[in-house]
Structure 1
Amino acid sequence: MVTKLKLASWNINSVRARADIVGRLLDEEQPDILCLQETKAHNDVFPAALFADRGYRFHELNGQKMHHGVAILSRVPLHDSGRHDWQDNGEARHVGARLDCGVRIENVYIPAGGDIPDRNVNPKFGQKLDFIERMTRWSEGLAEPTLIVGDFNVAPLECDVWNHKALLDVVSHTPVEVDALGKLQAAHDWVDLGRHFIPAPERNFTWWSYRATDWAASDRGRRLDHMWASPMLAAQVTAHRVLEPCRGWQRPSDHVPLIVELEL
């Protein structure tokens, strides 16, 4: 029986285009479970062999051609899979499963929300807020130990962005998004593992734009990727890391992986 669990989560920005660095992550970190977001691959073209050849025999896929897409790849059995349509339009943005120990893993890709933080002129922003609202209602009814991971596309704290004042009107850090995410967190008393292990105001970024000539030198990062644990599960979490060097790998994603370790 598994007594320790190591899980990685990564917005890979196309799993087929970045198969090499996905393989490198698996080889170097050896997680028991990998959750991917923005796979950009329908289930029938998902590169399953990349994972099966490394012992990840259990797959839960929710893919979509060219856009979105989430996946759970695991060395341990996955049961009772689920796919919530929190976007309410059929987009592939969530997949979840239960482990033998009873813990549920939920993998989510919250919409970015477009460029204008006003739902009246930018429908994408309204869809993002509604997505988080549906997650909030779901969270209120949770009664089992759950780990939710993924690209939340919100940097909630002032210290979660390179410049709080400069980004107050920029989608991902606006007060309305921060408020919505706060309500989601409160709905289940979720423990934000990123800030539990790397307390504010310590620097903690997971995303850097491709627009920067030198992402590391400019360091205009944001903490958009998260791992949250149910209160009953949080006490079993022993480690959490942000793999920032992955942003400098060949043909990188603009996001970096997160790692969490649990004693079951």
Structure 2
Amino acid sequence: MVSIVTWNINSVRLRMPIVERFLKEHAPDVLCLQEIKCQEHQFPYDAFRALGYEHFAVHGQKGYHGVATVGKIPFRDFSRHDWQDNGEARHIGVELTDPDHRGMVVENVYVPAGGDIPDREQNTKFGQKLDFLERMTRWADAIDRPTLIVGDFNIAPLESDVWNHKQLLKVVSHTPLEVDTLQRFMDAHGWADIGRQHIAAPQRYYSWWSYRAKDWRANDRGRRLDHMWASPELAKQAIAHRVHEDARGWDKPSDHVPLVTEFAL
């Protein structure tokens, strides 16, 4: 059994108290964080070690972006891809190395948000997002081992992944062009959407609520921006998946919540 979590933490140093709370309450084997917003030497290693997490793969940069994978079980750095093609720290891959889970790869990715205007000509950030996904798609064509890719994809593909499908069709994260581009990535490797294996559409499924809402729970204008996708054979070993919505209401929360999947390997 192995449990893996993905969480856009929106500054790991600022949110370390809620990370500690989550790890004490749920104790996953592997935690994948996005938007750590710090350089590698600034990462709070000691705080994680105090909780029993002694294995690290950190790809950071000053003030922005950044991803990190920490574990109670051992792994090795496996890959660092620059799918943004500009040096930003948006990906880290690890391979689990302990005897019970050896060979499983966990890819941790933070896809660009894409700005506010869903037009490549008017908004270069939107074009960069689409190009990022196309580079990921070409990479996925060559995968030849059990792989889990997790993170903030910044796309809510299904109607039940957003609070109002019609109102968000022209809003970046739910536009048909983004959804089609993400679908091509899924098709490239035959990824299985673990979340939707366990929380089948059209059930409501959100992982992000804007800070702008005065009462995020009552307002409930969420989107499913965070994902956990597995290679076809690995997906068959996923036995449980949970969304920890309660974390959105903790003190000084991230605007994203943790997702956890358990595998029987």
The within-5 A match list for 1:6-25 is: 6-25=3-22
Q: Quote the residue 1:116 is aligned against.
A: 117
Q: TM-score, length-normalised on structure 1?
A: 0.98
Write the deviation string for residues 214-238 of structure 1: whole angstroms up to 9, x where unpaired: 0000100000000000001011111
Deviation at 1:123, TM superposition (A): 0.3
Q: Quote the residue 1:30 is aligned against.
A: 27
Distance in structure 1 (CA, Å) of the matches to 2:51 and 2:165:
42
Choose 203-212 or 50-59, whichever is displaced more.
50-59
Q: Quote the residue 1:45 is aligned against.
A: 42
Q: Quote the residue 2:60 is aligned against.
A: 63
The within-5 A match list for 1:102-181 is: 102-181=103-182
Deviation at 1:99, TM superposition (A): 0.7
Is the 8 Å Cα contact of residues 243 and 258 (structure 2) preserved in structure 1?
Answer: yes
Is the 8 Å Cα contact of residues 113 and 173 (structure 2) preserved in structure 1?
Answer: yes
What letter corresponds to residue 19 of structure 2 in structure 1?
A: V
Q: Quote the residue 2:233 is aligned against.
A: 232
Is the 8 Å Cα contact of residues 60 and 73 (structure 1) preserved in structure 2?
Answer: yes
Q: Is 1:98 the equivalent of 2:99?
A: no
Q: Quote the residue 1:223 is aligned against.
A: 224
Q: Quote the residue 2:74 is aligned against.
A: 77
SS in 1 for 2:73: coil
Is the 8 Å Cα contact of residues 8 and 34 (structure 1) preserved in structure 2?
Answer: yes
Aligned positions, number: 261
SS in 1 for 2:150: strand
SS in 1 for 2:64: coil
Q: Quote the residue 1:196 is aligned against.
A: 197
Q: Is 1:259 the equivalent of 2:256?
A: no
Over the matched positions of the two proteins, sequence identity in percent amounts to 62
Is the 8 Å Cα contact of residues 150 and 227 (structure 2) preserved in structure 1?
Answer: yes
What letter corresponds to residue 92 of structure 1 in structure 2?
A: A
Distance in structure 2 (CA, Å) of the matches to 1:200 and 1:119:
30
Distance in structure 2 (CA, Å) of the matches to 1:144 and 1:32:
20
Deviation at 1:41, TM superposition (A): 0.7
Deviation at 1:80, TM superposition (A): 4.1
Unmatched segments (≥5 aa) in structure 1 = none
SS in 1 for 2:253: coil
Deviation at 1:50, TM superposition (A): 1.1
SS in 2 for 1:171: coil
SS in 1 for 2:117: coil
Deviation at 1:81, TM superposition (A): 2.4
Write the deviation string for residues 147-186 of structure 1: whole angstroms up to 9, x where unpaired: 0000000000011100000000000000000000000000
Is the 8 Å Cα contact of residues 141 and 188 (structure 2) preserved in structure 1?
Answer: yes
Is the 8 Å Cα contact of residues 57 and 77 (structure 2) preserved in structure 1?
Answer: no
What letter corresponds to residue 179 of structure 1 in structure 2?
A: D
